[in-house]
């Protein structure tokens, strides 16, 4: 097939130019996962979030502090310093900073320079994760955090994991809004051949993007067949809702039941997965995941089985997206074009939304 030069592909190229991609600035005014709660203790934890060096620690009263990981004297990383009595002492010239980021001690003189301090960030701890507001701390709004009762109220059995993704968070969100890839990228894990062609519905609104699929009847892969006991060929219903909740959160909710049983005689098994991407750089992402289920909550062996199987699948995404990013990196911009198909509708809308968030701030 002979393709026209990228410059004359026209509508497709124009459309892609109006979507967020690896070159789009980050959306700072939102909550992102900074760390799992059990990572943050009375020691300094350094992490790059949205391109910014951040140092975190937990105060004696249990609250989490997050501040710029840069001494305002001569730019030594504060994470190389020492934490004592909730204060950081810089490793270079020993200046000390309190949890509010104020300089409170300069060893070589009796007073601190006026207004000398470090930028601090607002944080919220909710269940297994610590969220950080990456915009100005005085604009942080807890109401902007997507509700997530199953993550925080304790009646779901959960497990969690972290992956370092060598790709843009935009492409991870795109991946999560187009689950037709399950039949191919996950053919050996939790995909089934009928998934890509199953009928689907969408909800597309301002910052609201959902894909729903009812795959019925289907055969469950082992990760679901074993825990639910629905193991027969064509015996299962797999009802999926995949939803972009914010630039930092995508939630997948799935119900399984035995579709060979009458409605009043069957159990419904529900699982949820919070995919929590926090950009590290333009082409790398901290990929936090929390998975939960509302059945067999006390069966730890089942939790381990499901966790291990799921993370095999999630690593398939991490590997695939890194390969995609490598191709994007070596393709000259003027030669880059991508065609979209119908199933890309929600992810195209989502990428336009991310770009609009940045443009609105500009
Ligand atoms: S660089 Fe931190 S005290 Fe000098
Ligand atoms: Fe996937």
- Any idea which ligand is nearest the CA of 190? 2
Please give the distance, rounded to the nearest whole angstrom, from the Cα atom of residue 80 to the centre of ligand 1.
11
Mutate to test the pocket of ligand 1, among 81, 95, 97 (most ligand atoms within 8 A of CB): 95
Atom of ligand 1 nearest to the CA of 93: 3
The full set of domains in the chain, from first to last, is 31-134 (2.102.10.10), 147-361 (3.90.380.10)
Please give the distance, rounded to the nearest whole angstrom, from the Cα atom of residue 94 to the centre of ligand 1.
6
Other CB atoms within 10 Å distance of the CB of residue 192: 18
Please give the distance, rounded to the nearest whole angstrom, from the Cα atom of residue 11 to the centre of ligand 2.
28
> Edge to edge, what strands does the sheet with 82-84 contain?
82-84, 87-89, 96-97, 103-105
Please give the distance, rounded to the nearest whole angstrom, from the Cα atom of residue 216 to the centre of ligand 2.
20
Nearest CA to ligand 1 atom 3: 93
Alpha-carbon distance of 244 to 348, in angstroms, equals 12
Q: What is the pLDDT of residue 6?
A: 43
Closest CA to 94 of 58, 80, 86, 42: 80
Q: How far is CA 43 from the centre of its chain?
A: 25
The residues with which 56 forms a beta bridge, in sequence order, are 45, 66
How far CA 245 is from CA of 35, 85, 139, 159, 331, in Å, comes to 19, 38, 20, 20, 31
Structure tokens at 309: 């199987």
Alpha-carbon distance of 297 to 294, in angstroms, equals 6
Q: What is the pLDDT of residue 295?
A: 93
Nearest CA to ligand 1 atom 4: 93
Alpha-carbon distance of 168 to 108, in angstroms, equals 45
Ligand 1 pocket by Cβ (under 6 Å) = 71, 73-74, 76, 90, 92-93, 95
On whether the CB atoms of residues 200 and 211 are closer than 8 A, the answer is: yes
Q: What is the pLDDT of residue 195?
A: 87
Mutate to test the pocket of ligand 1, among 44, 69, 71, 113 (most ligand atoms within 8 A of CB): 71
Q: What is the pLDDT of residue 22?
A: 93
Cβ neighbours of residue 207 closer than 8 Å, sequence gap 6 or more? 244, 246, 353
Q: What's the sign of the alpha-carbon dihedral 171, 176, 180, 182? A: positive
Cβ neighbours of residue 242 closer than 8 Å, sequence gap 6 or more? 176, 177, 179, 210, 211, 212, 213, 250, 251, 252, 253
Q: What is the pLDDT of residue 9?
A: 39
Q: How far is CA 106 from the centre of its chain?
A: 40
Mutate to test the pocket of ligand 1, among 55, 69, 76 (most ligand atoms within 8 A of CB): 76
- Geometric angle at alpha carbon 140, from 134 and 144, rounded to 5°: 95
Nearest CA to ligand 1 atom 1: 74
Tell me the residue length of the chain: 362
Q: What is the pLDDT of residue 132?
A: 98
Averaged pLDDT in 10-residue chunks for the chain of 362 residues: 46 60 96 98 98 98 98 98 98 98 98 96 97 97 92 89 98 95 94 90 95 96 95 96 97 97 95 98 98 94 97 98 97 92 95 94 75
């Amino acid at each position: 097939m002979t393709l026209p030069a990228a410059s004359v592909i026209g509508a497709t190229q124009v459309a892609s130019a109006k979507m967020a991609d690896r070159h789009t600035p980050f959306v700072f005014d939102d909550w992102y996962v900074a760390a799992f709660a059990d990572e943050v203790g009375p020691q300094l934890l350094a992490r790059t979030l949205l391109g910014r060096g951040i140092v975190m620690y937990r105060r004696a009263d249990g609250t989490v502090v997050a501040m710029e990981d840069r001494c305002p004297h001569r730019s030594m990383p504060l994470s190389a310093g020492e934490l004592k009595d909730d204060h950081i002492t810089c490793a270079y010239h020993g200046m000390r900073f309190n949890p509010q980021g104020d300089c409170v001690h300069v060893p070589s003189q009796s007073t601190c320079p006026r207004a000398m301090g470090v930028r601090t960030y607002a944080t919220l701890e909710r269940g297994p994760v610590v969220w950080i507001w990456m915009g100005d701390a005085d604009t942080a709004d807890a109401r902007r955090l997507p509700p997530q009762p199953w993550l925080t109220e304790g009646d779901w059995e959960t497990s969690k994991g972290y992956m370092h993704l060598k790709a843009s968070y935009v492409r991870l969100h795109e991946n999560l809004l187009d689950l037709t890839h399950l039949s191919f990228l996950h053919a050996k894990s939790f995909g089934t051949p009928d998934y890509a062609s199953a009928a689907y519905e969408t909800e597309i609104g301002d910052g609201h993007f959902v894909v729903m699929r009812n795959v019925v009847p289907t055969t469950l892969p082992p990760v679901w067949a074993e825990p639910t006991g629905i193991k027969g060929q064509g015996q299962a219903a797999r009802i999926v809702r995949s939803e972009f909740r914010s630039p930092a959160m995508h939630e997948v909710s799935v119900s399984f039941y035995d579709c060979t049983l009458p409605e009043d005689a069957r159990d419904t098994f529900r699982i949820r997965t919070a995919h929590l991407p926090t950009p590290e750089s333009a082409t790398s992402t901290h990929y936090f995941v929390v998975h939960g289920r509302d059945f067999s909550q006390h069966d730890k062996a089942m939790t381990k089985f499901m966790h291990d199987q799921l993370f095999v699948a999630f690593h398939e995404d991490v590997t695939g997206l890194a390969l995609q990013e490598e191709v994007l990196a070596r393709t000259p911009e003027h030669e880059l074009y991508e065609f979209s198909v119908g199933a890309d509708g929600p992810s195209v809308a989502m990428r336009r939304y991310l770009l609009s968030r940045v443009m609105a701030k500009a």
